[in-house]
Amino acid sequence: MDRYRYFVFNQRNMVVLGLFQIAFSTVCVVSGFVDGIFRAESELGKTRAPIWAGMVMGVPGVLALFSSQRKNPVLVNVLIAVSIISCVAILIVIVYSCLTLNYGEEEELSSAPVHVIHTRFVLNKVVKGASVAMLAASLCSAFVVLAMAYLGCRSLPRCSCYDSVTGMVSEE
């Protein structure tokens, strides 16, 4: 039996937050692929930053699902550390999507055929839509990751919340 009995974040809430984090991560990765496929070649587009950052963003969601099932303080500490790393990845996605919203695909096509102009217009809108989706998903993901880190901090045995209200009681 563990030395401490503690409430390891309300299981239902942590499962929901973990699933939301995985969903937001998936949106970033898919939007990153769309951005990478349809964006004109540029130095910014070659980085594939949203794909890698989206994968990093998904790790706290997976850890949240595991930590909600196992009352392991080491797993909770890892979740908190990975949540902070995920915040850095979220910041990278926010900066990337803001830059790609302003750094458009517009170019002069006055001498091009009409079907090429229409195709470029549609692809430009697809790329901007992917950037907006990445921005929205990363902003929502930031709130979810911070909530997971907060709940993780509250569930540790030696946290300042150690009292009878939270259910964290020493069994010494």
Per-residue pLDDT of 40-91, as tens digits, reads 666 666 778 888 888 999 999 999 888 888 767 788 888 889 999 999 999 9
Q: Is the pLDDT of residue 106 over 80?
A: no
| HEC secondary structure over the chain | CCCEECCCCCHHHHHHHHHHHHHHHHHHHHHHHHHHHHCCCCHHHHCCHHHHHHHHHHHHHHHHHHHHHCCCHHHHHHHHHHHHHHHHHHHHHHHHHHHHHHCCCCCCCCCCCHHHHHHHHHHHHHHHHHHHHHHHHHHHHHHHHHHHHHHHHHHCCCCCCCCCCCCCEECC
Per-residue pLDDT of 10-42, as tens digits, reads 677 888 999 999 999 999 999 888 888 877 666
Delimit the domains of the chain by residue range: 1-155
Does the global pTM surpass 0.85? no
Query: How much is the average pLDDT of 84-100?
Result: 90
Q: Provide the β-strand partners of residue 170.
A: 4
Query: How much is the average pLDDT of 1-13?
Result: 54
